[in-house]
């Protein structure tokens, strides 16, 4: 059996610069906080497809303290660098034992390397999208995300930066930042990757007990209900209510919000299309600090997209590929024949947040929700069409 190729591991800015100076061809970056799962590896595979046999894939592994608030799981977040490096090498080693790309570089800095002056003196305002939904619960989170993403884009200078659709609000904010600050990179959204039972992949799923993991499936069931309602012609309020009925009625689940928003501006589309700023559609009880704050990793929570890919600024609802492992939310999730993810059992619009949604006379909307199961906060979303 051929041995696995070992990535070039860099820990400092000079080491990264030297590795990239020697790296061939076009470059793509995947930003992670480590504790890699198949969703991350799908992002890496798509990055490899884009750069080709003579290009360079950069994977960053950094648990960014700026995007964690007091009481969140900064210290508890799993750190598995050795296993992550091994997984990356395995993922991009071809049958002949050689890398399928020209070079694979891992950048795993410490906070002192990323922020050499301590707390940054110059901060990035993530804009109005950061004030709603996730931003209401975690008001400093997206500023921290923008800070590290922009710094890593400068340090890695990629042609492509790949981000998962599960963190849809983060994706919208990063796209806006890249556009408004004229960053020369193409932001590539990549589909949500799910477990065989429908749970969106996350490094924090390890926080869930067996019982809690079953309770967490209410999120994907709620999205399936909302998707079916949209496909059946329900208006925005009806779509939201269909999802809320499932999520709000689930045992062990404390709802934070269920919202229907524009995928780019995050204005509310559930209130007669008035374009109001999105707000949580369920007034939650006061949330405890807990340990799990999902949705704060730049590249996580994704699945494969192996087509030509959207251009920066494209609608997040546009299809990138018809590859295996597509996410489906039709109430009948099944594992695909590769055993890697979920594929749909029907082509109805709105069932699949990764599949192209043909809006026709309707409008593409993002059905987004968040809930707490035990001490772990989970997010998920699906694209639907309102008619």
Q: Classify residue 131 as exposed, middle or buried by CB count within 10 Å of its CB (0-12, 13-18, 19+).
A: middle
Q: Are 365 and 262 in contact (CB under 8 A)?
A: yes
CA distance 191 to 167: 10
Residue tagged active-site, from 40, 141, 154, 387: 40
CA separation for the pair 101, 25 (Å, rounded): 10
- SS3 helix, strand, coil % of the chain, rounded to 5? 30, 20, 50
Question: Pairing mode, if any, of strands 267-268 and 160-164?
Answer: unpaired
* Rama region for 212: left / alpha / beta (φ>0; ψ in -120 to 50; rest): alpha
Distance CA 228, CA 218 (A): 15
Beta strands in the chain (DSSP E): 8-10, 27-32, 56-61, 103-107, 160-164, 186-190, 253-261, 267-268, 276-277, 292-293, 334-335, 342-343, 363-373, 376-386
Q: Is 40 annotated in the active site?
A: yes
- What secondary structure does DSSP assign to 283-323, as a single string? -PPPPP--SEE-S--TT-S-----SS-PPTT--TTS-----
Residues marked active site are found at 40
């Amino acid at each position: 059996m051929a041995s696995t190729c070992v990535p070039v591991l860099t820990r400092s800015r000079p080491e990264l610069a030297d590795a990239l100076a020697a790296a061939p061809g076009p470059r793509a970056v995947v930003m992670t906080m480590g504790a890699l799962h198949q969703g991350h590896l799908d992002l890496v595979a798509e990055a490899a497809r884009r750069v080709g046999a003579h290009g360079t894939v950069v994977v960053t592994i950094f648990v960014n303290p700026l995007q964690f608030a007091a009481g969140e799981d900064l210290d508890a977040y799993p750190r598995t660098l050795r296993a992550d490096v091994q997984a990356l090498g395995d993922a991009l080693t071809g049958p002949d034992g050689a890398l399928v790309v020209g070079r694979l570089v891992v950048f795993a800095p410490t906070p002192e390397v990323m922020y050499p002056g301590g707390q940054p003196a110059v901060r990035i305002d993530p804009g109005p999208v950061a004030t709603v939904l996730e931003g209401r619960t975690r008001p400093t989170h997206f500023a921290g995300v923008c800070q590290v993403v922009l710094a890593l884009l400068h340090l890695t200078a990629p042609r492509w930066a790949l981000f998962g659709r599960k963190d849809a609000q983060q994706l919208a904010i990063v796209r806006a930042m890249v556009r408004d600050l004229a960053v020369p990179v193409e932001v590539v959204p990549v589909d949500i990757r799910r477990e065989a039972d429908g749970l969106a992949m996350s490094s924090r799923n390890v926080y869930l007990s067996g019982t809690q993991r079953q309770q967490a499936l209410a999120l994907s069931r709620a999205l399936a209900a909302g998707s079916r309602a949209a496909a059946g012609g329900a208006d925005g309020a009806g779509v939201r209510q269909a999802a809320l009925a499932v999520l709000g009625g689930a045992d062990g689940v404390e709802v934070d919000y269920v919202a229907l928003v524009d995928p780019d501006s995050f204005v509310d589309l559930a209130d007669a299309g008035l374009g109001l700023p999105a707000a949580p559609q369920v007034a939650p009880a006061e949330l405890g600090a807990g340990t799990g704050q999902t949705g704060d990793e730049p590249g996580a929570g994704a699945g494969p997209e192996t087509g030509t890919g959207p251009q920066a600024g494209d609608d997040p609802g546009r299809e990138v590929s018809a590859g295996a492992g597509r996410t489906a939310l039709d109430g009948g999730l099944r594992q695909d024949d590769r055993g890697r993810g979920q594929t749909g059992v029907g082509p109805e619009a709105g069932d699949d947040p990764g599949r192209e949604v043909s809006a026709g006379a309707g409008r593409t909307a993002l059905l987004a929700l968040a809930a707490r199961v035990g001490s772990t906060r989970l997010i998920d979303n699906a694209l639907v069409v309102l008619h």
